[in-house]
Structure 1
Amino acid sequence: MSTTSDRPDFRPDLQGLRAIAILLVVFAHANVPYAQGGFIGVDVFFVLSGYLISGLLIRELRQTGRIRFLRFYARRLKRLLPALAAMLVVGRAAALWLLSDLEARAQLASAPFAAAWTSNL
């Protein structure tokens, strides 16, 4: 298992800002008072993610002279798929437990779109 000292490109300051951005969105969804503008967290998260990803791609280009996009996406999928699977399972269980039958069916119908990352299309 790697630690932050093994990864000189790891930026705990930016990861902390991304965590705060996520919390802003969660608080806005939870209707926390004074967090109505929390959706700015989405923009902050994407800007920081773009900066970090661009850094990875530029570093690969400098080190190897090329960018291997398939390898890049394979690394992203390897990191993201376990969290996606857990979210789908927990979301399904929560929908069945917490929602009415009608709401649960609607929620469960969206699962294939969430699994394929096409929810926003």
Structure 2
Amino acid sequence: MLGFIVSGVASVVAALCRYLPRLRLIQRIVHRRDSHKWGIPAMLLAVPYFLIANIFKGILEDGGNALFSVPLLWCLVMGIAFLAVGPISLLLLAKARTREAIARWKEQRLSGER
């Protein structure tokens, strides 16, 4: 049962990444060492998502169709995702730089003993 759920979630994420390039951007920032520095500028992409969500909220409050709640929810989720990418990428960058500094220190220490 759990394998079925995991495979279903994986296929949904793969389909969304194929058709929604913003998810590809988030994955690239989080999963690649050379892209961690782009986390903070990516947080600026949350602003248009929240502005569009505000427009959909206004439409819904004025008695619009309930189907507008789907893009409203999507805009909110993507806005929150882009807001979360910034601090996460900074933490990942700090972790990678610490790991690299420790490796350099160990290499210098080993070369100094010889």
Q: What TM-score comes out, normalization by structure 2 length?
A: 0.37
With CA pairs under 8 Å and 6+ residues apart, which has the higher RCO, 1 or 2?
2
Q: If each structure's helix is expressed as a fraction of its own residues, which one has the higher value?
A: 2
Decide which structure has the larger Cα Rg and report it: 2
